[in-house]
Structure 1
Amino acid sequence: MGTENTSAPPRAQSAPADNPTRTRRHGGGIVHENTRHTTRFVVIGNHLVQHKELSLLAIGLSCHLQSLPTGAGADIKSLAARFPEGPTRIAAALRELEAHGYLRRERHRTQTGRIVTRTVSCNQPHADRRREPADTGCPPAKRTPPPQRRTVQKALPAVPQPSSTAPALLQTAIDLLATLRRHDPRLLLSATDTAHLVPGVAAWLERGVAPSAVRHALTTGLPDEPLRRPAALLAHRLTDRLPPPPPFGTPSAAGPPPRHPLQNCEGCDRGFRAPYPENRCRDCRAASHP
């Protein structure tokens, strides 16, 4: 019973789990059959396709975005129409790519004043200094810090200048600009912006435009997006929509009409206004002089 059976085959020795030659010896694992691309290809880094924190959907979506030409639709609606995953899963994958620096979404204003969203796909994202970079198994890439940009506030566009600087005219323009925020809270103006816009509003008023009409021209049809520089928009409208001057001989709206003192008629005891003292109103004077 203690005799060893020499005819039995020896027991196979299992290779350790970290033995890289195990799959080669047993014929398993992946084998690459590569053909060199000469057209219609995009270079994808291993730091993305072997990322240890991104989901498979996020990795595949980033590869698709990097293959798109500039200007192609990359919003959730366009991607949901292209792929079967649906807007909810695509939105979650986009947030993953944003969190790891492979995607940025920036808002830009076009020449027509419209706000559009631009999607920036990064094939080599910059490391976020606020958190430790994920271990992707790749050596760190050399990165140069972005140049520091100074934000220079642009001057407001020029506005029309009135021919008259009557205090009543300028005060009416100031009051009009101060009430614009009641119609749209985004039109809250600083004292400096108001002083710049007052001559433009006064130019409208002296051309016979009623204050209500000026207010309507400045507050109607504003874009739905937040106004970064409301004073610049108002200055553009004051210049671009300036009406022509009134015909020769038409009284201008240089200021409110004067209010004459109130008097009582000695004939009918009715109150009336006149620029100088009168004993009787216009009707009583007309009756006494048929």
Structure 2
Amino acid sequence: MANPGYGKRLTADENPRGEADFAHLPPRAAELASLIDRLPEGSAMGYKVLAATHPVHGQQACRSALRELTDAGHLRLVKEHLTLEDSSKRWVTRTYWSRIRRSDAWWAEFVRRVHGVDVTVLGRAGLARVGEADEADEPAPAPAPSSSEAYGVLARLGRTEPRMTLSAADCAALEPLAAEWLARGATHNHLTQALTAGLPSPVHSPAAIARTRLENKMPPTSTTGTVRARVNKIVMMCGGCEADETTTKLTNGLCAACREELDREPESDDTWPPVGYIPDTFRADPVECVVNHHFRADEARIAAGLPPRGRG
């Protein structure tokens, strides 16, 4: 798990898992996507941590696969500047994940909606302080109901239990109660389970049942240092080098340099070099044999930053 306040976060708008979720991706990226998709919220998302978790791929493969997943529209790396309840300021880094591949325009709109959202961060120790924000910062606007985590959990209840399908009006009316659950440390799964488990038969009014359970089963106020915070700035970052959009142009979540590197990478780490190949530069003495011009050419291409030529 990442430090509190960091790591994986869901976009709160997902379909149930299916076998074809990542069929459009190259094999390496699809394998990593399946792993990431099953990690809980708050999991560390650095390529070194993922490589330590993945049974096959190493650090370079995971780093490349993260760029592929960013380019394909499954994740975005962002920095959020938070104003805490004591008026202090913090930056946190999050990786937003979507099982559904999203367009660049969709992600831009998603990031715009996150601005101003009230979030809860467990524990101050995980919040990286980078100094107070500019005094000219304007107060963050109140979140729209459709952009809140609580509203999203309520809107998805029907996918878990069809008898608890709520209307938009129901979700808006119940959102403050659900938001209080999340503020007290409840997870999305905890809230969903509380509203869908042990239902009577038949269910005449899902909204009435949800309200009764939200009121009567409200978790106690946390005593573990829960910190309420609001996002007052959000900046998208390159999924490869972590340069932010204020210093470089991003296309599909990648800067030009990382996109160029992605375009020239082989799909798998084991395509080069061939097993047993040792460049002459690593030998004590030159090998007295016929020069292999294919290897010489490939050495020159690699030194120039180009991939080796394919051999049939």
Q: Quick check: TM above 0.5?
A: no
Q: Could you say which structure has the larger radius of gyration?
A: 1
Select the structure that is richer in strand: 2
Higher helix share: 2
Higher RCO (CA < 8 A, seq sep 6+): 2
TM-score w.r.t. length of structure 2: 0.30
Q: Could you tell me the TM-score, scaled by structure 1's length?
A: 0.32
